[in-house]
Amino acid sequence: MDNLVKIRNLVNELTVRDENLINRSKYIEILEELFLKSPQAIAIMERDWKYVLVNELFATLYGFNCPTEMIGKCHYELFKSIPERPIDDINYQLNEKGNWKGVIECPHKLNDSFLYEVDIKKIKDRNMLVWTCIEITETDTPSSSLNKSRIS
């Protein structure tokens, strides 16, 4: 199923609960644009780290040609070299606080690795995560208040 259809279905499910929403199609259009044209790489994952939705920038940063190459696959399946410890630390923070923000060194499909400033949040009332990230260049200096992990 294509990403836009999944976004529409998710928004439809969420907005059915809100009878006061006047223009659902405009709301869907805004969310689609936000997801597709965001300057941040965005992925929505299940709590077991399986990708549900991925925007093109997220797929590109991780070395994939298109988001569909990642959809339905677990992060561990795509990046077999990831040790469990950093993910365990991130999961602990997600369970305790509902979010994790930090700088991680992540694998790239082509066996290179890159630094990313990452923000992961749990979606309330759902067993899902929203992962946003921006690649950090050598000239960028990540905030000292961010967690630092190596996922490679």
Its sign, for the CA torsion 149, 144, 124, 66, is negative
Determine what percent of the chain is predicted with pLDDT higher than 90.
12
Most confident of 3-17, 54-68, 116-130: 54-68
What pLDDT was estimated at residue 72?
A: 94
What pLDDT was estimated at residue 92?
A: 86
What pLDDT was estimated at residue 151?
A: 45
Quick check: 71 pLDDT over 90? yes
Most confident of 2-16, 18-32, 89-103: 89-103
Burial zone of 116 (CB within 10 Å; 0-12 exposed, 13-18 middle, 19+ buried): buried
Its pTM stands at: 0.69
Quick check: 133 pLDDT over 80? yes
Quick check: 18 pLDDT over 60? no
Radius of gyration of the chain (CA): 16
